[in-house]
């Protein structure tokens, strides 16, 4: 005959197993914030640096490297988690826009507001405006977002698929360009004066592009697409 302690132990086991078999308690409902369109959603934003370009002169491109590394670079480092896509754009044409270097990024209006304020207060940028290298800086208004779509800053002549996919490609290109500026800047003895320093770095970067860009960039880009034929206008000197 089984003793009392055995039955007590058996009841405890039954209660334990019953507890394990009980259905899990449903978690409390999670409230989802409702965001009005344009208030917290991501959009594309431009920061446009208008650069000095005297009449009758060739455009000076080296200030772009200085702006990328010393003005935009620290902002990117600080806000990287809040920016989903970004890139640089460089242009020089005798038109209303003129000689410009642009930082284009995709983020919320709150992030755009922080970035605009930080750049406007940057001592180096203020100095570049004082000496006339940068004539003006234009900031998109975070209160009036205008480019919500991923492809809204891509070339409208492209296919829709390319418009949507291209921002990821050009962000990688811009990151490589910025990292090359930084890596070249670590080597050699460059002048302390910023404009002279980045003119020297630009020369070294242009030489690297000329000597290594064909294989490192164009060849490997072709490889990703399976070496398929590409329609290119042929010239003796080619620019893509």
User: Is 23 contained in some domain?
Assistant: no
Domain residues for 155? 43-224
User: Is 116 contained in some domain?
Assistant: yes
Quote the Cα angle for 137-205-102, to 5°: 20
Digit-coded pLDDT (tens) for 113-134: 999 999 999 999 999 999 999 9
Tokens of 127: 């100095």
Digit-coded pLDDT (tens) for 55-88: 999 999 999 999 999 999 999 999 999 999 999 9
Rounded to an integer, what distance in angstroms lies between the CA atom of residue 39 and that of residue 110? Answer: 9
User: Is 19 contained in some domain?
Assistant: no
β-strand pairing of 134-139 with 43-51: antiparallel
Rounded to an integer, what distance in angstroms lies between the CA atom of residue 69 and that of residue 190? Answer: 15
**48 and 137 in contact (C-beta within 8 Å)?**
yes
- The predicted model gives 170-190 an average pLDDT of 96
**Alpha helix positions (H), the chain:** 4-21, 62-66, 73-79, 109-120, 123-130, 160-186, 194-213, 220-224
User: Is 108 contained in some domain?
Assistant: yes
Check residue 237 and give its pLDDT.
Answer: 63
- The predicted model gives 201-226 an average pLDDT of 96
End-to-end CA distance of the chain: 95
Check residue 56 and give its pLDDT.
Answer: 95
Tokens of 194: 């910023």
134 Cβ neighbours under 8 A, 6+ residues apart = 49, 50, 51, 52, 63, 67, 125, 128
- The predicted model gives 18-23 an average pLDDT of 44
Check residue 11 and give its pLDDT.
Answer: 40
Number of independent structural domains in the chain: 1
User: Is 212 contained in some domain?
Assistant: yes
Least confident of 35-49, 86-100, 171-185, 218-232: 35-49
Digit-coded pLDDT (tens) for 130-155: 999 999 999 999 999 999 999 999 99
CA–chain centroid gap for 94, Å, is 28
Check residue 187 and give its pLDDT.
Answer: 87
* Nearest alpha-carbon partner for 143 in 62, 214, 40, 72: 40
In the chain, the percentage of residues whose pLDDT exceeds 90 is: 77
* Nearest alpha-carbon partner for 102 in 145, 127, 136: 136
For residue 95, the surrounding DSSP H or E stretch is none
Q: 0.95 cut: is pTM over it?
A: no
Three-class DSSP category at 114: helix
| Confidence category of residue 239, pLDDT binned at 50, 70, 90 | low
In the predicted structure, residue 36 carries a pLDDT above the cut 50: no
Check residue 47 and give its pLDDT.
Answer: 98
Rounded to an integer, what distance in angstroms lies between the CA atom of residue 76 and that of residue 73? Answer: 5
Check residue 232 and give its pLDDT.
Answer: 81
Cα-trace Rg, the chain:
28
In the predicted structure, residue 22 carries a pLDDT above the cut 50: no
Least confident of 8-22, 64-78, 226-240: 8-22
Check residue 21 and give its pLDDT.
Answer: 42
- The predicted model gives 228-236 an average pLDDT of 80
Rounded to an integer, what distance in angstroms lies between the CA atom of residue 74 and that of residue 216? Answer: 27
Starting at the edge strand found earlier in the chain, the sheet holding 134-139 runs 85-92, 99-107, 43-51, 134-139
Check residue 39 and give its pLDDT.
Answer: 58
- The predicted model gives 6-33 an average pLDDT of 42
């Amino acid at each position: 005959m089984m003793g009392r302690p055995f039955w007590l132990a058996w009841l405890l086991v039954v209660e334990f197993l019953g507890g394990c078999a009980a259905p899990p308690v449903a978690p409390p409902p999670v409230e989802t914030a409702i965001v009005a369109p344009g208030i917290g959603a991501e959009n594309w934003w431009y920061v446009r640096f208008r650069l000095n370009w005297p009449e009758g002169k060739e455009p000076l491109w080296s200030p772009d490297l200085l702006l990328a590394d010393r003005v935009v670079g620290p902002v990117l480092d600080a806000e990287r988690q809040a920016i989903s896509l970004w890139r640089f754009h460089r242009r020089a044409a005798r038109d209303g826009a003129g000689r410009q270097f642009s930082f284009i990024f995709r983020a919320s209006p709150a992030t755009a507001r922080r970035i605009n304020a930080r750049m406007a207060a940057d001592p180096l940028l203020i100095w570049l405006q004082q000496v006339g290298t940068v004539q003006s800086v234009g900031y998109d208004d975070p209160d009036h977002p205008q480019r919500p779509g991923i492809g809204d800053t891509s070339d409208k002549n492209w296919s829709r698929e390319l418009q949507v996919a291209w921002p990821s490609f050009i962000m990688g290109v811009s990151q490589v360009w910025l990292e090359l500026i930084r890596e070249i800047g670590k080597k050699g003895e460059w002048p302390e004066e910023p404009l002279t320093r980045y003119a020297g770095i630009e020369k070294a970067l242009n030489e690297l592009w000329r000597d290594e860009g064909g294989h490192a960039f164009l060849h490997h880009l072709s490889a990703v697409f399976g070496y398929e034929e590409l329609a290119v206008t042929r010239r003796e000197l080619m620019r893509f």
